[in-house]
Amino acid sequence: MTHTSDYDLVILGGGAAAFAAITEASRRDLSTAMVNTGLPIGGTCVNVGCVPSKHLLAVVENGAAAAENPFDAVRYPEEPTVDWADALDGTNELVERFRQENYVDVAEHFETDIYEGYGQLVDDTTIEVVDGADEGAHITGEKALVATGSSPWAPPIDGLDDVDYYTSETILEERDLPESILMLGGGYIALEWGQILHRVGVDVTVLQRSDRILSDMEGQLGREMQRAFEEEGIEVVTGNDFRRVHASAADGGAEAIQSGVAVETTVDGTERTITGDALFVATGVQPNSEGIGLETVGVETNDDGTVHVDEHFQTTNPDVYAAGDVIGEPELETVAAKEGNHAVKNAFGNEGVSIDYDAVPAVVFTSPEVAAVGTTEREYMDEHGTCSCRTVQMEDVPRAKAVKNTDGLVQVVKHHETDEIVGVHMVGPRAADMIMEATLAVKVGLTVDDIIDTVHPFPTFSEAIKQACQAFRRDTSTMSCCIE
Ligand SMILES: Cc1cc2nc3c(=O)[nH]c(=O)nc-3n(C[C@H](O)[C@H](O)[C@H](O)COP(=O)(O)OP(=O)(O)OC[C@H]3O[C@@H](n4cnc5c(N)ncnc54)[C@H](O)[C@@H]3O)c2cc1C
């Protein structure tokens, strides 16, 4: 197709940021078009990210119910099993439904034209489709939005380019899993996928370069998760100085990608060779910013390849905005969406809206769950030279004791003078939902006394946050059940 069309807003990419942008644009009666390829419409989150991983985590959590059951009174006649191929079928069905209802139908509703193919900015706010079904189309907007997302990134380790490995995208196509997998990385994708694979029977070893997993989060969280993973039977090796990766003869399985892999590493000064049937690289993401014409239209990138934007998501070309993973951390679905929304508000309404990134929660959906918002103890110490932090162990929380689910902790960091809560970090059951109370506290500047003065339902895990706040004011070892 070779044609030229004009719109108010043209978008390069068709994921979370793009869809939030067309939603806001439609409120303003603006005409929109997007160009998408690579992943199907909807981008990472729905197709290969949040939706499949959270679905599969829930599947394997149910499969692990017998092993995790803490009650003597409950007996399982036999150990449940999870059929991986069936689990993938269920995931695909769910993804297709989500994609249709939340993306395809939504674009139709907002009368957004979708162009299929690889797009490049060729002249200010004009995108040309250079490859794919709509090759040759030129679309021009009053404004353009770059929302091309990110892709899995592999670190520069000798030999890695020469071996086959899974990523969070390719594993979703693997119906015949190997017996063992070496998981490179220790962030949230490595842990979520490590637990999924372990719980369907794969022997998983997590190999992390830093001295703890979840190295970007409060230190206690990584240590707690390493303990939980090891207790479950997942080996975790931290402090790796990776030297080389190469194919090796395997003990069994892994016909799908290769016959085995060996990672040569140095841990604590000792050289080790760790082998497995297959490798999974979950070491982060890189922005999709190359080969999309940024330099042609005067859009600058940062050293790490992310698109350079100001706090209003405007690039160095005033008519071109950017949002989502392509502008960098935190690479999260809701953040990408908020950025896409704000980019349109700023581009067409001159509203000057930005995001308070300190109040963005981060979650790992493993069991136990991990969630955090705001400043860590280390960051606070570095900035103020003092720490005002309290930690409560889940085993001291009445609900956790009552339901025999006591893994985890909650740490609250407050301002040492104003008592405002500046950070909350937790591991434990329901942490992903509990973090919202903490997020509001950080966002609106609630103090620990505001939380203490708020009646929490009893018995709930959310009382752990209140209990951690109480710990600033009193000895919590002599508290009755109601945490007053
Ligand atoms: C395994 C995994 C689990 C995740 N889980 C969560 C979670 O639980 N919660 C959460 O908040 N976030 C999660 N995320 C992150 C979340 O998916 C992303 O932050 C979000 O999808 C980014 O949205 P985006 O619009 O920036 O990019 P994307 O959703 O990636 O969309 C970009 C689209 O543009 C296309 N594209 C790229 N270049 C071009 C081009 N030149 N021409 C045409 N099309 C192009 C891409 O193929 C893609 O379809 C997860 C990510 C992964 C990988």
Instruction: Please state which CATH class domain 3-151+286-355 belongs to.
Output: alpha beta
What is the model's pLDDT at position 478?
82
H/E stretch holding 264 reads: strand 261-267
Gap between the Cα atoms of 257 and 446, Å rounded? 52
Q: Is 10 helix (H, G, I), strand (E, B) or coil?
A: strand
Please tell me the distance between residue 45's alpha carbon and the centre of ligand 1 in angstroms: 5
CA atoms within 13 A on the CB side of 274: 27
What average pLDDT does range 68-82 have in this prediction? 91
Q: Are 98 and 46 in contact (CB under 8 A)?
A: yes
Atom of ligand 1 nearest to the CA of 35: 43
CATH topology agreement for domains 160-283 and 359-478: no
Take atom 53 of ligand 1 and give the residue whose Cα is closest: 49
Mutate to test the pocket of ligand 1, among 54, 169, 332, 339 (most ligand atoms within 8 A of CB): 332
Q: Judge residue 478's burial from the number of C-beta atoms within 10 Å of its C-beta, 0-12 exposed, 13-18 middle, 19 or more buried.
A: exposed
Q: Is 343 helix (H, G, I), strand (E, B) or coil?
A: helix
Gap between the Cα atoms of 261 and 181, Å rounded? 9
Backbone angles phi, psi at 447, to 5 degrees: -95, 170
Please tell me the distance between residue 44's alpha carbon and the centre of ligand 1 in angstroms: 3
Backbone angles phi, psi at 225, to 5 degrees: -70, -35
H/E stretch holding 58 reads: helix 50-63
What is the model's pLDDT at position 249?
64
**Could you tell me the fold of the domain covering 160-283?**
FAD/NAD(P)-binding domain (3.50.50)
What average pLDDT does range 138-166 have in this prediction? 97
Pairing of strands 138-146, 126-131: antiparallel
Q: Are 240 and 212 in contact (CB under 8 A)?
A: no
Gap between the Cα atoms of 205 and 230, Å rounded? 10
pLDDT more than 70, % of the chain: 97
What average pLDDT does range 144-158 have in this prediction? 97
- Spans of all domains in the chain: 3-151+286-355, 160-283, 359-478
pLDDT band at 64 (very low <50, low <70, confident <90, very high): very high
Mutate to test the pocket of ligand 1, among 23, 50, 196, 341 (most ligand atoms within 8 A of CB): 50
Mutate to test the pocket of ligand 1, among 148, 285, 289, 299 (most ligand atoms within 8 A of CB): 148
Gap between the Cα atoms of 113 and 133, Å rounded? 14
Please tell me the distance between residue 335's alpha carbon and the centre of ligand 1 in angstroms: 11
Q: Is the pLDDT of residue 361 over 80?
A: yes
Q: Which two tokens stand for residue 205?
A: 């070893």
Query: Between 4 and 154, whose confidence is greater?
Result: 154
Please tell me the distance between residue 54's alpha carbon and the centre of ligand 1 in angstroms: 15
Task: Tell me the pLDDT tens digit for each residue of 364-413.
Answer: 999 999 999 999 999 999 999 999 999 999 999 999 999 999 999 999 99
Say how far residue 55 (Cα) sits from the centre of its chain: 14
Q: How many CB atoms lie within 10 A of CB 4?
A: 11
Task: Tell me the pLDDT tens digit for each residue of 216-229.
Answer: 999 999 999 999 99
Q: Is the pLDDT of residue 173 over 70?
A: yes
Please tell me the distance between residue 35's alpha carbon and the centre of ligand 1 in angstroms: 14
Gap between the Cα atoms of 96 and 41, Å rounded? 11
What is the model's pLDDT at position 256?
47
Take atom 20 of ligand 1 and give the residue whose Cα is closest: 333
Q: How many CB atoms lie within 10 A of CB 367?
A: 19
Atom of ligand 1 nearest to the CA of 339: 26
Q: Is the pLDDT of residue 253 over 50?
A: no
Within 6 Å (CB) of ligand 1, which residues are found?
12-18, 35-39, 43-45, 49-50, 53-54, 118-119, 147-149, 168, 189, 288, 292, 324-326, 331-334, 336
Q: Are 316 and 181 in contact (CB under 8 A)?
A: no
Average pLDDT, the chain: 95
Q: Judge residue 26's burial from the number of C-beta atoms within 10 Å of its C-beta, 0-12 exposed, 13-18 middle, 19 or more buried.
A: middle
What is the model's pLDDT at position 252?
47
What is the model's pLDDT at position 477?
81
Gap between the Cα atoms of 318 and 124, Å rounded? 9
Q: Is the pLDDT of residue 258 over 60?
A: no
Q: Is the pLDDT of residue 450 over 90?
A: yes
- Specify the CATH number for 359-478; select among 1.10.3720.10, 3.40.50.850, 3.30.540.10, 3.30.390.30: 3.30.390.30
Task: Tell me the pLDDT tens digit for each residue of 459-483.
Answer: 999 999 999 999 999 988 887 777 6
Q: Which two tokens stand for residue 188?
A: 């949230």
Take atom 50 of ligand 1 and give the residue whose Cα is closest: 49
Beta-bridge partner residues of 128: 120, 138
Q: Are 36 and 104 in contact (CB under 8 A)?
A: no
CA nearest neighbour of 22 among 259, 348, 273, 248:
348
CA nearest neighbour of 214 among 236, 241, 182:
236
Gap between the Cα atoms of 32 and 144, Å rounded? 10
Beta-bridge partner residues of 182: 205, 279
pLDDT band at 4 (very low <50, low <70, confident <90, very high): confident
pLDDT more than 90, % of the chain: 93
Please tell me the distance between residue 447's alpha carbon and the centre of ligand 1 in angstroms: 35
Q: Is the pLDDT of residue 254 over 80?
A: no
What is the tally of helices (H) and strands (E) in the chain? 14, 21
Gap between the Cα atoms of 462 and 434, Å rounded? 6
